[in-house]
Amino acid sequence: MRSVISSVKKSRTAGTLLAVVIFLQAISASAGWPQESAPPRIDEEFTKQETIYRGRGADGTRGYITSRGLSDYVALLPSGFCNTLAKLGSADRWLDIGAGAGLAILDYYNLAKCARRGVKARAVAMSIEDRRSDAWKKQAASLDANRLRYLTGKRLRHYSPEELGKFQMITDVYGGFSYTEDLSQFVEKVLSLLEAKGVFYTMLQGVRLENGKDQPDTAYQTELLDPASGDVKVCSWLKKISCVKVGCESSSEWAPTERINIRKVCSDVSVPRLKLLEYQSGAPPGRRFQLAP
């Protein structure tokens, strides 16, 4: 199978390709996981990724989409998302990780979609870079403090439990789940922020599908390997987490995509560790991880 990472590599020089192959062989040949810091090539990709986060398109840097509204979220997230949102009470809390401009939350506050008349949950939008619009600022100013919050300046993993509190629902549409270089730590953090019976709705494009209906010669964007370097589906990995119920809706309309819901059913959550093998900056990035033995 061809991956996005490998197809990008094709356009590089033979020397670079050889160095990458040697590096990958070195990791897989070593007993256990290498403990040293990320190798320089991955560091370079992280630096390029930062310019994507900060890029606004107009200034010549590569921008990315940060303005999906609630209808887009309904289309991209699993089928239960809109109903769960509509059932949230006014004391409940919704966290949108990687919210961009926070348009989905703004729509929720302003439209009748996915909401009960007059009842709105408290909502927190999180984005590495500040994408707040004037509309967001106006809406937030018109509400009681803490009904609408926008957190920016750092990644999910850098927030303490006290800073964030707990949530009944967490969403992520092309946010940290698609961009993080530490997928297992990211999922562990998300689950630690969920109340019991709370649910995480997310999606991932360019992955091996749970229903096996992948097109031949698919270019995968996020790849998971087992310790013997065999392919692992993202949903199979998620289903190994303790204390959760995972639902996956596979779709292969334009790219192999999983719509994922993870419900927390007890507190003793344990997420099987993944080690980052490769990271190719992009929107979203190409990533390859391997399950720890």
Ligand X SMILES: C[S@@+](CC[C@H](N)C(=O)[O-])C[C@H]1O[C@@H](n2cnc3c(N)ncnc32)[C@H](O)[C@@H]1O
Residues that bind ligand X (CB under 6 A): 53, 64-68, 97-100, 126-129, 155-156, 173-176, 179-180
Task: Give residue number: closest CB to ligand X.
Answer: 98
Q: Token digits for 202? A: 């997310």
Strands laid side by side in the 231-232 sheet: 231-232, 222-225, 286-291, 274-280
Task: With H, G, I as helix, E, B as strand and everything else as coil, classify residue 228.
Answer: coil
Q: Which helix (H) or strand (E) holds 134?
A: helix 134-142
- The rounded distance, in Å, linking the Cα atoms of 84 and 115 is 9
Measured from the CB of residue 140, what is the shortest distance to ligand X in angstroms? 17
Q: Token digits for 245? A: 């119920």
- Identify which of residues 155 and 259 has a Cβ nearer to ligand X in the complex: 155
- Identify which of residues 6 and 181 has a Cβ nearer to ligand X in the complex: 181
Measured from the CB of residue 174, what is the shortest distance to ligand X in angstroms? 4
| CA-based nearest residue to 116, from 141, 147, 66, 82 | 82
Sign for the pseudo-dihedral over CA of 51, 53, 54, 55: positive
List, in order, residues 6 or more apart from 228 with CB less than 8 Å away.
none
Measured from the CB of residue 64, what is the shortest distance to ligand X in angstroms? 4
Measured from the CB of residue 152, what is the shortest distance to ligand X in angstroms? 8
Measured from the CB of residue 262, what is the shortest distance to ligand X in angstroms? 17
